[in-house]
Amino acid sequence: MVMACRVVNKRRHMGLQQLSSFAETGRTFLGPLKSSKFIIDEECHESVLISSTVRLLESLDLTSAVGQLLNEAVQAQNNTYRTGTSTLLFLVGAWSSAVEECLHLGVPISIIVSVMSEGLNFCSEEVVCLQVPVHNIFDCMDSTKTFSQLETFSVSLCPFLQVPSDTDLIEEERGLKDVASQTLTISNLSGRPLKASELFKPQTKVEADKNTSRTLKNSLLADTCCRQSILIHSRHFNRTDNTEGVSKPDGFQEHVTATLKTYRCNDLVELAVGLSHGDHSSMKLVEAAVQLQYQNACVQQGNCTKPFMFDISRIFTCCLPGLPETSSCVCPGYITVVSVSNIPVIKELQNQPVRIVLIEGDLTENYRHLGFNKSANIKTVLDSMELQEDSSEELWANHVLQVLIQFKVNLVLVQGNVSERLTEKCINSKRLVIGSVNGSVMQAFAEAAGAVQVAYITQVNGDCVGNGVYVTFWRSSPLDVVDRNNRIAILLKTEGINLVTAVLTNPVTAQMQTKEDRFWTCAYRLYYALKEEKVFLGGGAVEFLCLSCLQVLAEQSLKKENHACSGWLHNTSSWLASSLAIYRPTVLKFLANGWQKYLSTLLYNTANYSSEFEASTYIQHHLQNATDSGSPSSYILNEYSKLNSRIFNSDISNKLEQIPRVYDVVTPKIEAWRRALDLVLLALQTDSEIITGHGHTQINSQELTGFLFL
């Protein structure tokens, strides 16, 4: 499928132009209201509906060097965090365009790399003030609550920049209560005390809040803000070691004090709703899975006094296309699909405990573990090779069956592939064999059933066999849930097993992959929020603060060029220092434009603005207000704290308890920024090695223009 067509100037930085073109294809994925795309396979003419950057890049031709680098960056973000890929892709495009503009104005490459890297580090420091501590989430949780019926929620957008109607609002189960009109001291850019209303309830232990704030801020600065650029291979990038020490300009002091950390989130429902970003159905499944894990932990401990940690490695999904979405649920245990030919076996085994064997590798006749050395100088001679192979597999399958009969094993879980011949024999003898089982599932059954995993069936003995596993149909009428491949869903359980399966259903097969992706996105958001014990105020607040601070920084650099030079770089050549003073405001401005484009596109995608220009004008209006206030961070917090904000929350009801708080995960978001900038600067320096000497030549644009098809 042709995704985009863009004119590419071959004498300019083609890598940056290609990155911009690739990023353009994913603009509609930004924000809570994603516009999906149909991807059609030209060979088999099958289609799938996607709404994520990862699935988009899987469908594009990324054979170029830049395309492969982009795919690697997105895959690295997705494999680690499962969120932030749309932000990464968009910022890659926005900052590629920003770098191109800098080059067009003659800014040296070394200065672009230096100033952009330090500008992003500065943003990472400033947004620490928008972190919300997440503590004691499970202290008030009811360990006996069940989730047999999932509550439904309407889609809710970000409250910071959204302009919703009253019908779009949802009521949180635990809304914001009457907020006391408290004040907190904030030092603005010039050091003058300001007062702002609190959004969340103030805590009684102010000193504890101060310590929490310092710890969180120091942790983020140590983990993310002091990273050095890895882009050191180019001859255009020769920063000295002294550039590591960067001091903030005079105007940017520690403008948000520790007392700001009176913001807290200590309720799972509130946290889940805030991290759902409009996808409440998926997040409710995740919330239910966490509740089941918590219940199981309390049962195993006999009480709930020990700290509980959400273990995402023990959460699994089972996708059943063709069923109505109301059938989606979470269940304790392991739910998987098997062939309908196993129905008689399951009917025979259900309602009774069975013995289980766990096989780590493949359960086939010719499987050998890694490192196995086949015996040499052995030759078998038969008249028919086909007879040899059939006889060999038949003898092996009979031997495996005898082992299972000997130890009274009726259930075999295999991490790899299973011999079809063996499967048939097991079905005939009323034994169930399931292949391609996840390693975490194997480990969970080993722990709960007392089984020991083995590599070969010949290693099975009485000590390796587990007990007390129950096999049953997921539904009482198994034929009601047969999929297109003639498979049915079954449930495997044993007492105390730490496994939870989310059953995802959808009547439209093409939407199944999207539904599963969204579930995992919500699961990992909640996982990292609980793991890090902190979240950002969401809804565009963090990006807006970055935009505000960079613009103020650029304006100050213009007014105090000489002072900024001496304060930001030491022991450098006079040429580099003077060039930095001249070009630094320009680079910061274009870096900030990336955030401006991000917020404008985010607003435009909510369908509340007729154009991105209108959305950009709206952002610019508040940007000016934030600058005039003297402290962008306090301006943002003031807007959050208003009961009836007609600025960031136009047309929102007067009832504060109806406004859901929106949160963002901390590390995944910042890492998405850094990966985006690292990729752009890598493409910049790689291109510069190739086209040096041609950038300032007068050329005929018609002769040097080509087309890039995606």
C-alpha–C-alpha distance, residues 535 and 528, integer Å = 9
C-alpha–C-alpha distance, residues 688 and 676, integer Å = 19
505/550 same-domain check: no
User: What is the pLDDT confidence band of residue 477, given thresholds at 50, 70 and 90?
Assistant: confident
Please check whether residue 276 lies inside any domain of the structure.
no
* Number of structural domains in the chain: 2
According to the model, what pLDDT value does residue 45 have?
77
Cβ(32)–Cβ(158) under 8 Å?
yes
User: What is the pLDDT confidence band of residue 401, given thresholds at 50, 70 and 90?
Assistant: very high
According to the model, what pLDDT value does residue 60 have?
84
Cβ(600)–Cβ(285) under 8 Å?
no
**Residue from 134, 201, 171 nearest 641 by CA:** 201
Please check whether residue 14 lies inside any domain of the structure.
yes
Name beta bridge partners: 315: 500
The CATH code of the domain that includes 351 is 3.50.7.10
406/520 same-domain check: yes
C-alpha–C-alpha distance, residues 213 and 219, integer Å = 10
3-state per-residue secondary structure call for 526-545: HHHHHHHCEEEECCCHHHHH
pLDDT above 80: residue 273: yes
Mean pLDDT of 50-63: 88
Reduced to 3 states (helix: H, G, I; strand: E, B; else coil), residue 104 is helix
According to the model, what pLDDT value does residue 669 have?
97
According to the model, what pLDDT value does residue 218 have?
41
C-alpha–C-alpha distance, residues 413 and 435, integer Å = 6
pLDDT above 90: residue 549: yes
Q: Name the phi and psi angles at 443, rounded to 5.
A: -65, -40
Please check whether residue 612 lies inside any domain of the structure.
yes
C-alpha–C-alpha distance, residues 77 and 71, integer Å = 10
pLDDT above 90: residue 362: yes
According to the model, what pLDDT value does residue 573 have?
52
511/629 same-domain check: no
DSSP string, 377-405: S-----S-HHHHHHHHHHHHHHHHHHHHH
Write out pLDDT tens, residues 96-120: 999 999 999 999 999 999 999 999 9
502/578 same-domain check: no
Neighbours of 147 (CB within 10 A): 18
- Residue of 557 and 565 predicted with greater confidence: 557
457/556 same-domain check: no
Please check whether residue 259 lies inside any domain of the structure.
no
Cα dihedral 642→644→650→652 (10° resolution):
120
C-alpha–C-alpha distance, residues 53 and 39, integer Å = 13
462/557 same-domain check: no
Mean pLDDT of 448-463: 94
According to the model, what pLDDT value does residue 366 have?
84
587/520 same-domain check: no
According to the model, what pLDDT value does residue 298 have?
85
According to the model, what pLDDT value does residue 168 have?
38
DSSP state of 330: E
339/458 same-domain check: yes
pLDDT above 60: residue 386: no
User: What is the pLDDT confidence band of residue 467, given thresholds at 50, 70 and 90?
Assistant: very high
pLDDT above 50: residue 220: no
E strands along 287-414, which residues?
315-321, 329-332, 334-339, 354-359, 411-414
Cα dihedral 526→532→533→538 (10° resolution):
-60
C-alpha–C-alpha distance, residues 539 and 594, integer Å = 17
Which runs of consecutive H residues, i.e. helices, occur in 450-569? 512-532, 541-559, 561-568
Please check whether residue 374 lies inside any domain of the structure.
no
Cβ(602)–Cβ(162) under 8 Å?
no
Q: How far is residue 613 from each of residues 551, 596, 600, 668, measured CA to CA in Å? A: 19, 11, 8, 29
Return mean pLDDT, the chain. Answer: 76
Please check whether residue 81 lies inside any domain of the structure.
yes
List, in order, residues 6 or more apart from 435 with CB less than 8 Å away: 363, 414, 416, 417, 418
According to the model, what pLDDT value does residue 18 have?
92
**Residue from 269, 270, 303 nearest 143 by CA:** 303
Reduced to 3 states (helix: H, G, I; strand: E, B; else coil), residue 702 is coil
433/576 same-domain check: no
For 23, the domain range is 4-132+537-564+571-691
According to the model, what pLDDT value does residue 369 have?
61
Q: Is the CA virtual torsion 519, 287, 32, 595 positive or negative?
A: negative
User: What is the pLDDT confidence band of residue 709, given thresholds at 50, 70 and 90?
Assistant: very low
According to the model, what pLDDT value does residue 353 have?
96
Query: Which segment, 161-175, 366-380, 391-405, 645-659, is predicted with the most confidence on average?
Result: 391-405
pLDDT above 70: residue 223: no
User: What is the pLDDT confidence band of residue 129, given thresholds at 50, 70 and 90?
Assistant: very high
Write out pLDDT tens, residues 646-658: 345 433 344 444 5
Please check whether residue 491 lies inside any domain of the structure.
yes
448/344 same-domain check: yes
Q: Using only the alpha carbons of the chain, give its radius of gyration.
A: 29
pLDDT above 50: residue 706: no
Please check whether residue 254 lies inside any domain of the structure.
no
According to the model, what pLDDT value does residue 178 have?
31
User: What is the pLDDT confidence band of residue 153, given thresholds at 50, 70 and 90?
Assistant: very low
Neighbours of 402 (CB within 10 A): 11
pLDDT above 60: residue 259: no
Which amino acid would we find at residue 710?
L
C-alpha–C-alpha distance, residues 75 and 57, integer Å = 9
The CATH code of the domain that includes 603 is 1.10.560.10
According to the model, what pLDDT value does residue 144 have?
55
447/575 same-domain check: no
- Flag the least confident range among 548-557, 572-581, 617-626, 633-642: 572-581
613/677 same-domain check: yes
C-alpha–C-alpha distance, residues 466 and 487, integer Å = 26
C-alpha–C-alpha distance, residues 255 and 190, integer Å = 8
Residue at which a domain ends, from 532, 551, 586: 532
User: What is the pLDDT confidence band of residue 698, given thresholds at 50, 70 and 90?
Assistant: very low
Residue at which a domain ends, from 510, 532, 554: 532
